[in-house]
Homo-oligomer: A and B are copies of this chain.
Amino acid sequence: MKKITLQIHCNDQPGIIAAVTSFIANNSGNIVYIDQHVDSEQNIFFMRLESEFTSFSITTFKANFKSVLVKKFNMKWRVYDAEDQPKMAVFVSKYEHCLYDILGRYSSGELNVKIPFIISNHNDLKPIAERFNIPFYHIPVTKATKAEAEIQQLQLCEKYAIDFIVLARYMQIVSSKIINKFPNKIINIHHSFLPAFVGAKPYHSAYKRGVKIIGATSHYVTEALDAGPIIEQDVARVSHTHAIKDLIAKGRDLEKIVLSTAIKQHIGRKVMVFNNKTVIFS
């Protein structure tokens, strides 16, 4: 039994669902999940579908799908083998809460992913990586060495065939050199309810503004700072009794849950990106 996940988007037009579901049926597939979304403003149709096949050749499937459907509807599409575990690189700096949360879930089998290595610009979190038996690469980053450091980072990603990168409170701005290699494949956690408080020290800004609710946002990294497609957000109530250190402490819990939720959605191939926004299938 082979299970695949299919993601499609194209201009909205009559007959797509019938055509795709008939195609699956004609190829002896059993649909176990299907959902679709129409962005009526842009007139774009999105579909996510999971199907099981008793006998299956990915090559044949791709060829047939292409000749029968892709041309007719001018589709953008991707097909994933459910057994393929994506490879995820983790970048950190000095904060450990997101890293602990990711590694705890990873160790208990909650994340269907491989983590070949952790990269950090500092050595502080090396003991945590060791605790979980994951290779740790210390690649310091200064203004002068940043370009060189990114080359090293990319070499590691290539060597281990990394599929996507998670910035788990990695306190550096990633340059377009890396972003272009991993378009909509770098997941960041920003410690505010974006688009409020872009940039550095958002808890300080939130405190100063006197907000009654703080948040955290996980998004794909694009070249515009903290402006990429949002995957997940969550919030918590605060009050005048919370000093900045209390906002930071509350925020840690938001950050780690929001980031891990975004990672799970990405791993589950539940996210589609269009026009700097995400469609998140259930």
A interface, CB within 8 angstroms of B: 14-15, 17-18, 21-22, 25, 30-41, 96-97, 100-101, 104-105, 107-108, 110, 128, 131-132, 193-197, 209-213, 215, 229-235, 237, 239-241, 243, 249, 252-253, 257, 260-261, 276-280, 282
Contacts and interface: CB of A to CB of B under 8 A. Distances in A.
| Interface residue SS majority, chain A | mixed
A3 B41 CA distance: 20
A23 to B, nearest CB: 9
Contacts of A25: 14-15, 18
Nearest to A96: B108
Given A15-B25, A37-B240, A241-B282, 18 more contacts: A14-B31, A18-B18, A34-B36, A39-B240, A96-B107, A97-B108, A97-B110, A101-B101, A194-B196, A194-B211, A195-B197, A210-B229, A210-B277, A212-B231, A213-B235, A240-B279, A253-B260, A257-B257
Contacts of A237: 237
A195 B232 CA distance: 19
A14 B31 CA distance: 7
